[in-house]
Amino acid sequence: MKTHARGAHPTIAVYPGTFDPVTNGHLDIIERGSRIFDRVIVAILENPEKDPLLTVEERKRLIEEATRRLRNVEVESFAGLLADYARSKGARVVVRGLRAVSDFEYEFQMALMNRRLNPEMETVFMMPNEAYSYLSSRMVKEVVALGGSVRGLVPAEVERLIVARAAPGGGRRSRVPAGILTAPPGVEGSAVGAHGRDGRGGRGRARGAAFRRRRGGRG
């Protein structure tokens, strides 16, 4: 899809998300996208309704540091509709990562709504390396808040910052809502639900989907 060399318009792709925090799964998608598209704009949603662990500025800096060697990748933030933001950037492609079937329903709805809002924009799904197929920002935060290690799942600088902020005995009180950490099996809102608490999809997957619908994202 790299068209620049052939003299056509460069293909600009937007990779939107919350990135609270960016994980190695996100970075894997960014790298794959950078090999296909002329420009990749990583777009961090400014969402005042969420209570993020990291500020937009912190998230931007961390992604910039982690993607410095990728010359055609830039990082921005946006507010409002993704369809409008992509149009303002001249981007005809939205990249989203698909980790598992459980991501599909939400992504399908979002892609079709975005197509309705901006018919010129196409959503392209990319699969991250299977090593990251279970990985989510939400789970990273939960593991850190419970004192576990996320080494190898996020860049070292991300690990340092979220441990300082969210780990037990870290720099300040945990910002990960207690309900997420303690929800018993079968209760919506469990962080594990995103991939099925039962580890097989099934009912866990349905809970995850309901949870994502409620919070408006996949984490």
Region from 57-65, 77-85, 147-155, 168-176 binding ligand PNS, contact rule CB under 6 A: 77-85
Binding-site size for ligand PNS (CB under 6 A) equals 13
Q: State which residue has the least CB distance to ligand PNS.
A: 217
Question: Residues 84 to 143: which contact ligand PNS by CB under 6 A?
Answer: 110, 113-114
Instruction: Assess 17 for contact with ligand PNS (CB under 6 A).
Output: yes
- The values of phi and psi at residue 177, to 5°, are -55, 135
- Asked if 96 and 125 count as a contact pair (C-beta separation under 8 A), the reply is yes
103: helix, strand or coil: helix
194-216 burial, b at 16+ Cβ within 10 Å, e below that, comes to bbbbeeeeeebbebbbebbeeee
CB of 114 to ligand PNS, least distance (A): 5
Rounded CA gap, 39 and 72, in Å? 5
Nearest to 96 by CA among 77, 111, 84: 111
**16 counts as binding ligand PNS under rule CB under 6 A:** yes
| Structure tokens that stand for 124 in this block | 């392209």
50 as an active site residue: the answer is yes
Site for ligand PNS in 162-181 (CB under 6 A): none
Rounded to a whole number of angstroms, the minimum distance from the CB of residue 59 to ligand PNS is 11
Half-sphere exposure of 57 toward its Cβ, with a 13 Å CA cutoff? 0
C-beta of 199 vs 216, nearer to ligand PNS = 216
User: Does the active-site annotation cover 99?
Assistant: yes
Contact residues for ligand PNS, defined by CB under 6 A: 16-18, 45, 81-83, 110, 113-114, 216-218
Catalytic positions: 26, 50, 99, 137
